[in-house]
């Protein structure tokens, strides 16, 4: 016989606390929730869809890897104005078109065609 649901939840919460798992509340539009639900299934055709937690976890890890690669590539370049290693976050030439700070963040921001 299975454990009562309250007991199972308590066990689950204890396990998550032990693993340092925390809850994060995010606000999504109807459209975004629909995309999430649809893509959780589309990414696992013929298999049980990703759970929302799992899907978001994997996106975070995937973007972490991508950002690391992008930052490594940036470290090999320098600001055209001050010569500092990229990414430069502060520069007295901010606003100057030759200074990386002015437009450089477009290289690291998350890009999407969705508006
Ligand atoms: Zn600069």
Taking the centre of ligand 1 as the mean of its atom positions, its distance from the CA of residue 109, in whole angstroms, is 18
- Concatenate the DSSP letters of all residues of 10-62 into one string: HHHHHHHHHTT---------HHHHHHHHHHHHHTSTTSPPPPHHHHHHHHHHH
Domain segments of the chain: what residues? 25-69, 77-115
104 pLDDT above the threshold of 80: yes
* pLDDT confidence bin for 113, thresholds 50/70/90: confident
Taking the centre of ligand 1 as the mean of its atom positions, its distance from the CA of residue 110, in whole angstroms, is 22
Q: How confident is the model over 89-114, as a mean pLDDT?
A: 91
Neighbours of ion ligand 1 (CB under 5 A): 79, 81-82, 91, 93, 99
Instruction: For residue range 47-87, list pLDDT tens digits in order.
Output: 999 999 999 999 999 999 999 999 999 999 999 898 999 99
């Amino acid at each position: 016989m299975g454990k009562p649901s309250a007991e199972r939840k308590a066990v689950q919460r204890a396990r998550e606390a032990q693993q340092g798992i925390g809850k994060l509340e995010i606000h999504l539009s109807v459209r975004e929730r629909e995309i999430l639900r649809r893509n959780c299934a589309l990414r696992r055709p013929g298999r049980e869809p990703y759970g929302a937690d799992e899907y978001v976890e994997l996106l975070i890890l995937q973007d972490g890897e991508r950002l690391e690669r992008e930052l490594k590539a940036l470290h090999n370049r320098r600001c055209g104005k001050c010569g500092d290693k990229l990414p430069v976050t502060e520069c007295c030439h901010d606003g100057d078109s030759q200074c990386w700070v002015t437009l450089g963040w477009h290289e690291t921001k998350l890009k999407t065609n969705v508006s």
